[in-house]
Amino acid sequence: MTLVVNRDLCIGAGQCVLSTPELFDQSEDGRVLLRRRPVDADEGRAAVDLCPSGALRLTDDTRSRPVVPDRDAATKGWG
Amino acid sequence: MTANSTYAPDAAPSGEAPDFPMPRTCPFAPAPEYVGLRAEAPVSQVRVPDGQLAWLVTRYADVRRLLTDPRVSANRFHPNLPLTEPVTPQTRRNIAAVGRSLIGLDQPEHGPQRRMLIGDFTLRRAQEMRPHIQRTVDECVDAILAGPKPVDLVAALALPVPASMITKLLGMPYEDRDLIVRSADAQLRRTVSAEQRQQTSSELRAYVDRLVTAKEAEPTDDLLGRLVVQNRQTPLFDHDMLVGLAMLLLVAGFETTASMISLGVAGLLENPEQLAVVTGDPAAMGLAVEELLRYFTVVDALPRVATADIEVGGVTVRAGDGLLLSFASANWDTDVFADAGELDVRRGARHHMAFGYGIHQCIGQNLARAELEIVFRTLFTRIPGLRLAEELDGLPFRKESNIYGLDRLPVTW
Ligand code: HEM
Ligand code: SF4
C-alpha cells in the first residue's frame, strides 16, 4: 500500500493534521504537507478515511505517484 | 424524467411523500422517522415546503458517497434545489447573495475560491485565535456571575462568543458586534415578526457591503483585507461576490456555533456522568466536542441536485432530481456508530458528518472546535454548580427548523 497525497485536491479542512499531527501539517497557503515518510501505509489510514476531498489516498499500485507532477518532496507518494 | 426537465410535484401520487423537514419529538434525538427510513427506505421521496418533491437520503454510507460524487451539484440557482424553508422573496435574496460563493459552487469553480481562503482556516490559525476566544468567554462568564439568576445562556454566552470570533476574523470593528448579534437573534427567534426580520437582514447586508467597500479601498491585515489583495493579483471575485462571501462567513459560522454551544451545555447538564468525564480530565474535551457535534448534528440536512441518473439505496435518482442529504440521520446510523442514541463523550469518533463531507466540508470547523472546547471548559470550571433553571422538555427547542438549536436556555447555579 502506498499513501498518495494530491495537494491540488486539498480543501484545507485539516482533518489529517487534527487526527495524525505527527504525519501531516498544513502549509501557509492552507494545503496539506507530509512531515516525513510514513512508517507504513497504516500510519496514514485514519487520515485517509477522514479526508473529505480525496486529496489523501491509499493505493495498491506501488508505481503510483501524485497526480500532480510536483517536485516538492512533501507531496510524494510514500509508504 | 430527462435532464433539465422541471421536477413535477404532481408526478407522484399525492399524500404519499411525507413533509420535510421532519419535526423532532425528543429534544436530543433527530426526527424519529429517520430510524425506519434508514432500515426500510434509505432513499425516499419527501415534500419540501414549496411543494416540490426531493429524495431524502438517510444512511451514512449513501450520504457520504453522494457528497463526493461529481454528478451531485450544490448549485443554489438550480430550480429543483429542494429548499427546506418556505420560499419567500427574502430567502431568494439570501440565496442569490451567497450562491455565487463557495457553498453554491461545483468544481472546477469551487476549488480556486476555496483555496484563496484556506490559509486563514488552518489548524494553526485556529490555535492562534484561542487567546481571543478565551478572553471573550471569560468576559461573558464574568458578566454572568455578576448578574441576576437565572440567566439566559443563549443571550449571555452562545451568541456573543461566535459574534466576537467572526468580528475578529473578518476584521470588523469590535463595536459592530452588536449588530451581528441583533441580526442573528432576529433570525433565530420565532417571536420576531417577518418584517422585523427582513429589516435586520437588509441592515446587515448594507453593513457588510460598506465593510467590503472599506476593505477594497484600504485592505487591512485580516481575512477580508487579504482576500482583497489576493483578488487583485488573481481576480476571482467581483464586489458583489465578495459581499456574498462575507455574508456566507457571517451566517455559516454563527447560528451553527451558537446552537452547538447551547445544545452542548444542555446535553452535558442532562448527562452528569458524561459531564464528570470532561470536568475530571481536561484532555477529554477534544473528543467530547466531536461527540457533541455528532449527537446534536445541528445542520440536519442540506440540499443538492443530481446532474445525471444515479443509482443509490435501491432507487434511480434521475438527472434533475433534488436530493436532501441528512447529516443528522447519518450521524445516528447504527451501522457506523454503535448505540448512536447514547451520548458517549469517550466514543472517539471523528468520522461524523456534522461538518459535512466532500469539497464543501466546513471551512470553519477548527475554529468551531476551538470555540466549543473553550466555552465548555471555562463554563463548567468557573461555574461548577451550573444547572438548568427549567425542565428540559419545556425549553424552546427549534424542533421544526433545519438548523437545530434553542431559542433560550435558562440556567442557574
Ligand atoms: C459548530 C459549528 C459549525 C457547524 C455545525 C457547521 C456546519 C457546516 C456544514 C454541515 C457545512 C457543509 C455545507 C455543505 O455541504 O453544503 C459547512 C460549510 C461551511 N461552513 Fe460551517 N459549520 C460550523 C461553523 C462554521 C464556522 C465557525 C465558520 C466560519 C468562520 C463556518 C463557515 C463555513 C463555510 C464558509 C462553509 C462553506 C464551505 C464550502 O462550501 O466550501 N462554519 N459548515
Ligand atoms: S484532510 Fe484532506 S482536504 Fe483536509 S487538509 Fe488534509 S489533505 Fe487537505
CATH code for the domain of A7: 3.30.70.20
Biggest CA–CA distance in chain A, Å, is: 31
How many distinct structural domains can be found in chain A? 1
Residues of B whose CB is below 8 A from A31: 115, 118
Bridging pattern class, strands A2-5 and B53-57: unpaired
Asked whether residue A79 is assigned to any structural domain, the reply reads no
CB burial of residue B156 (10 Å; 0-12, 13-18, 19+) = middle
- Smallest Cβ distance to A14: which of B67, B122, B356? B122
Asked whether residue A53 is assigned to any structural domain, the reply reads yes
Asked whether residue A72 is assigned to any structural domain, the reply reads no
What is the rounded CA–CA span in Å between residue A23 and residue A33? Answer: 9
Asked whether residue A27 is assigned to any structural domain, the reply reads yes
Q: Residue A32: CB within 6 Å of ligand 2? A: yes
pLDDT interval class at A1 (50, 70, 90): confident
Asked whether residue A77 is assigned to any structural domain, the reply reads no
User: Is A59 in a helix, a strand, or coil?
Assistant: strand
B196-244 pLDDT per residue, tens: 777 877 888 899 999 999 999 999 999 999 999 999 999 999 999 999 9
CB burial of residue B278 (10 Å; 0-12, 13-18, 19+) = buried
Cell numbers at B128, concatenated = 492562534
Pair B318, B39: CB distance under 8 Å = no
Domain that holds residue A8: 2-62
Taking the alpha carbons of B322, B327, B333, B336 in that order, is the dihedral positive or negative? positive
What's the pLDDT score for residue B369? Answer: 98
What's the pLDDT score for residue B220? Answer: 92
- CB of B120 less than 8 A from some CB of A: yes
**Is A13 close to B117, i.e. CB distance below 8 A?**
no
Q: Which of residues 313-352 of B touch A (CB under 8 A)?
A: 350-351
Pair B212, B171: CB distance under 8 Å = no
pTM score: 0.92
Which residues neighbour B235 within 8 Å (Cβ) at sequence distance 6 or greater? none
Q: Residue B64: CB within 6 Å of ligand 1? A: no
Question: Is the peptide bond prior to A52 cis by the omega test (within 30 degrees of 0)?
Answer: no
Distance B41 CA to ligand 2 centre (A): 33
- Smallest Cβ distance to A52: which of B120, B123, B361? B361
Which residues neighbour A1 within 8 Å (Cβ) at sequence distance 6 or greater? A40, A41, A42, A58, A59, A60, A79
Asked whether residue A38 is assigned to any structural domain, the reply reads yes
A25-66 pLDDT per residue, tens: 999 999 999 998 888 878 999 999 999 999 999 987 655 444
What is the rounded CA–CA span in Å between residue B151 and residue B36? Answer: 39
Residue of B116, B124, B361, B362 to mutate, testing the A interface (most A Cβ within 10 Å of its Cβ): B361
What is the rounded CA–CA span in Å between residue B231 and residue B210? Answer: 18
Asked whether residue A29 is assigned to any structural domain, the reply reads yes
- Domains of chain B listed by start with CATH number: 9-412 (1.10.630.10)
Residue nearest to ligand 1 atom 4, measured at CA: B256
Chain B: nearest CA to A70, how far in angstroms?
17
Pair B158, B398: CB distance under 8 Å = no
CA proximity to B4, closest of B315, B312, B323, B306: B306
Asked whether residue A67 is assigned to any structural domain, the reply reads no
Q: pLDDT tens digits for chain B (413 residues)?
A: 333 334 444 444 445 899 999 989 999 999 999 999 999 999 999 999 889 999 999 999 999 999 999 999 999 889 899 988 777 776 666 777 778 889 999 999 999 999 999 999 999 999 999 999 999 999 999 999 999 999 999 999 999 999 999 999 998 887 888 888 877 777 666 666 777 777 877 888 899 999 999 999 999 999 999 999 999 999 999 999 999 999 889 888 888 999 999 999 999 999 999 999 999 998 999 999 999 999 999 999 999 999 999 999 999 999 999 999 999 999 999 999 999 999 999 999 999 999 999 999 999 999 999 999 999 999 999 999 999 999 999 999 988 777 899 999 999 99
